[in-house]
Amino acid sequence: MRSKRLICALALFCGLGGATAQQANSAPPHQIQATIDAQTTSPPISKYLYGQFIEHIRNTMYSSLWAEMLDDRKFYFPITMAKPEPEAKPASVPFGGKLRQWHTVGQAGDVVMDKVHPFVGDQSPRITLDATTPHGFQQEGLALLKDKKYTGRIYLRGATGSKVKVSLIWGPDAQDRQTVTISALTEEYKKFPLVFTAKADTSDAVFEVTGVGAGTFYVGTVSLMPADNIDGFRADTTSLLRQIKMGFWRYGGNYTSGLIWYHVVGDIDRRPPDFDHAWGAMQTNDLGLDEFMELCKLLNVQPYISVNAGFGDSHSAAEEVEYMNGAATTYMGAKRARNGHPEPYHVKFWNIGNEPWGAWQLGRTDEKYYMMKHNEFAKAMRVADPSIILIASGLMLQNDNVPPDQRAKYVGNLGPLYGTEADWDAGFIKDCWENFNIIAEHWYARGGHHWDIEKAKTLNATQPNDDAYVKQDQTLLEASRYPADTVRLKAEEWEGYQKRFPQLVQEHIPLAIDEYAYFNVAPRGSPFAGENLKQVLAYGMILNEMARYTDFLTMAAQTTGVSLLDFNKTASTLNGLGLIYKLYGDHFVGAIPVALSGNSPQPAPKFPVGSPDQPEKSSGSPTYPLDMYAALSADRKYLILSVVNATQSEQKVNLSVRGVHLAGTSTLWQLTGDSPDAVNHVGQPPQLAIKESSVGNVPRSISVAPISVNVYQFPIAQVAR
């Protein structure tokens, strides 16, 4: 199943096994010839083709983007123990290691959880005071930079005369701390500001709250952030991401199907924490809808929101639309205004549900019943705002919903399965027409394996398609093209839907691949850290392949937006994935694709057509072993050429251009490194970079460096007649 494949890919990141030789099953010609016809064009490349997907899974949102430094700041988990013994394991969370816990200062019984009058959520800490010995709690593992300022807040109530000390501690000595003393406690919770300046670099600082006196004191919430945060977001990571033209960010994922959206708006300190059953993690609900809109503003992207069609209902979805888009005179728009946002957000893109066909999805239902649910949601949401663009959560047959035994039976001819309950896209087209504007598709690919038809024949309908994958040694070139073949597969199938349902073409209903990723690197700390040159080459081919279908593929979102960065708690840098998206965003947004032909076709399919990872025709341009893509700049002043060389040999190409006359100084932007494993890591010299150089007058042939992604810009002197 897709969820299993994603989780396994994130956990294992299957490597290439050291195979980096050029693919040997097809010999290219002695001289590669590429012919560009600038008069044969396709619809322009939308900025939405370079979108990103984001989901609330630990450091995909928190710590990477959101600047909060304290875990469990609303005390979802009880503080019932002294400092854990070494063998004790803190609560585990996906995508980011362990959740740091609070532990008591003093005796374990000094801190209990008040469940009668909690500040927020189900409980708040109550600390019994002693006249001379500090009692309270602390959290370790904070990262500080010397001379950097940190600000925060704490909500307290307690006995008159009690004295609370909030300390930031960066070393073992008495002077290695700064303390804010608070003595004006009352019976009602009050907010107190916190300001600290660290005097040392450390990755293991301590945040401590203690008190002395008589009686008790209570803590509502606490917060600590670098003072340079921008409305709660990290200044460094958001600044880097803003450099990339990404079009939109999609807010959704499995998390959405259990989300109570009412809990992610309003006073950030009064939002109750929830347990996310999709990912088995606690959500503080700090980074909610209003914060997501601020993030989109910081990144200069359009927002795209998925509503809860799992455990959720159409009424709450409609109210969510009204909260985001309604005038301040509407019921929910007035709530938004009271929350400090009087102007409507005018969110255009709305997705109903997330992978509702998946067995892992909260609230999953059968296809025929989900179509009823989709229609109900669509109608209610359009009452709230008739102008929104609705995106259906589709699934084509080449995905994981067809049982492996049935897929094996119909490999090479999936026709008999069209229109069955396995075919969600046909369900939308037949039963939900006019209740959507776009159909979405998700895919995840993992290198180093392929789907084996013979093994699939041994499986039954209850076993996942993933069980039919077998290990496959891949060359660097094969591994780089593997995910682009998945794009090609989706395009072929969509074209099949267009033939079966011509109204898709007549009504201009496009396809959105609003969640996708390719995993083929070794792990390093974070699942999304260490995107190396192998990944860069693969993503160059992915982006080239997607741009070949601009007549119907209008949106795409890579998983996840923060995978474009290598980051730790205090610093960040663009990794290889970030650089490839920056390279393409800088040069291809708005560009007009033109025809490119060649004398060296890509290899024929290696495995049976109809397998979930084998298209009828291999992806890529007919310039094997290179993958090339050409377009006119939006102003038609330049011819732009992308060339991906996923071999370790220099490749030469003769260029022939029709329809325009090229003349003048040309420019090359090249992304490469010393080896396929070259990578950018925080705190280390970059091994990957985009280098700009002049290539002089327009060349008749180009020499393409090994293991590189190249974008050439050729000036157009005049249009040929």
Interval 307-322: pLDDT, tens: 999 999 999 999 999 9
- Position 663 in a domain: no
Question: Measuring CA to CA, which residue among 264, 219, 4, 143 is closest to residue 682?
Answer: 143
Rounded to an integer, the average pLDDT of 399-421 is 70
Interval 520-540: pLDDT, tens: 754 444 444 458 999 999 999
Question: 78 versus 58: which is more confidently predicted?
Answer: 78
The whole-number pLDDT of residue 323 equals 98
Q: What is the DSSP letter of 170?
A: -
Interval 487-517: pLDDT, tens: 999 999 999 899 999 999 999 999 999 999 9
Indicate the number of domains in the chain: 1
The whole-number pLDDT of residue 2 equals 43
Residue 625 preceded by cis peptide, ω within 30: yes
Q: Are 17 and 448 in contact (CB under 8 A)?
A: yes
The Cα–Cα gap between 513 and 507 comes to: 19
The Cα–Cα gap between 368 and 379 comes to: 17
Q: Sign of torsion, CA 27 32 34 35?
A: negative
Relative to beta strand 651-658, strand 32-41 is parallel
- Position 306 in a domain: no
Annotate 474-497 with DSSP letters as a single string.
Answer: --HHHHHHHHHHHHHHHHHHHHHH
Helix (H, G, I), strand (E, B) or coil at 220: strand
Q: Which structural domain range is residue 134 located in?
A: 103-226
Interval 126-153: pLDDT, tens: 999 999 999 999 999 999 999 999 999 9
The whole-number pLDDT of residue 120 equals 97
- Position 198 in a domain: yes
* Cα 409 → chain centroid: 35
Annotate 75-100 with b (16+ C-beta within 10 A) or e (fewer): bbbebeeeeeeeeeeeeebbbbeebb
Q: How confident is the model at residue 413 (pLDDT cuts 50, 70, 90)?
A: low
**Phi and psi, residue 162, nearest 5°:** -75, 150
Helix (H, G, I), strand (E, B) or coil at 42: coil
Helix (H, G, I), strand (E, B) or coil at 255: helix
Q: How confident is the model at residue 213 (pLDDT cuts 50, 70, 90)?
A: very high
Please, which residues bridge with residue 597 across strands?
Answer: 35
Interval 326-375: pLDDT, tens: 999 999 999 999 999 999 999 999 999 999 998 899 999 999 999 999 99
The whole-number pLDDT of residue 209 equals 98
The whole-number pLDDT of residue 57 equals 87
pLDDT of residue 189 exceeding 90? yes
- Position 491 in a domain: no
The whole-number pLDDT of residue 331 equals 98
- Position 126 in a domain: yes
Angle, helices 331-338 vs 314-325, to 10°: value is: 50
The Cα–Cα gap between 554 and 509 comes to: 10
Rounded to an integer, the average pLDDT of 405-428 is 76
Q: Are 614 and 485 in contact (CB under 8 A)?
A: yes
* Cα 602 → chain centroid: 30
Half-sphere exposure of 468 (CA within 13 A, CB side): 27
Rounded to an integer, the average pLDDT of 201-227 is 96
At position 136, the amino acid (one-letter code) is G
- Position 255 in a domain: no
Average pLDDT of the residues of the chain: 90
Cα→Cα distances 357→360, 396, 483, 514, 644, Å: 9, 11, 23, 16, 36
Q: Are 245 and 47 in contact (CB under 8 A)?
A: yes
CA dihedral 681, 686, 688, 693 (to 10 degrees): 160
Look at the block and give the residue holding tokens 């890579």: 558
Question: 265 versus 17: which is more confidently predicted?
Answer: 265
**Phi and psi, residue 306, nearest 5°:** -95, 130
**Phi and psi, residue 611, nearest 5°:** -65, 155
Interval 633-688: pLDDT, tens: 999 999 999 999 999 999 999 999 999 999 999 999 999 999 999 999 999 999 99
Please work out, in degrees rounded to the nearest 5, the angle formed at the alpha carbon of residue 481 by the alpha carbons of 478 and 484. 155
CATH of the domain at 117: 2.60.120.260
The whole-number pLDDT of residue 97 equals 60
The whole-number pLDDT of residue 522 equals 45
The Cα–Cα gap between 258 and 72 comes to: 20
Interval 268-306: pLDDT, tens: 999 999 999 999 899 999 999 999 999 999 999 999 999
The whole-number pLDDT of residue 92 equals 46
Interval 527-579: pLDDT, tens: 444 589 999 999 999 999 999 999 999 999 999 999 999 999 999 999 999 99
- Position 116 in a domain: yes
Please, which residues bridge with residue 592 across strands?
Answer: 632
Helix (H, G, I), strand (E, B) or coil at 337: helix
- Position 632 in a domain: no
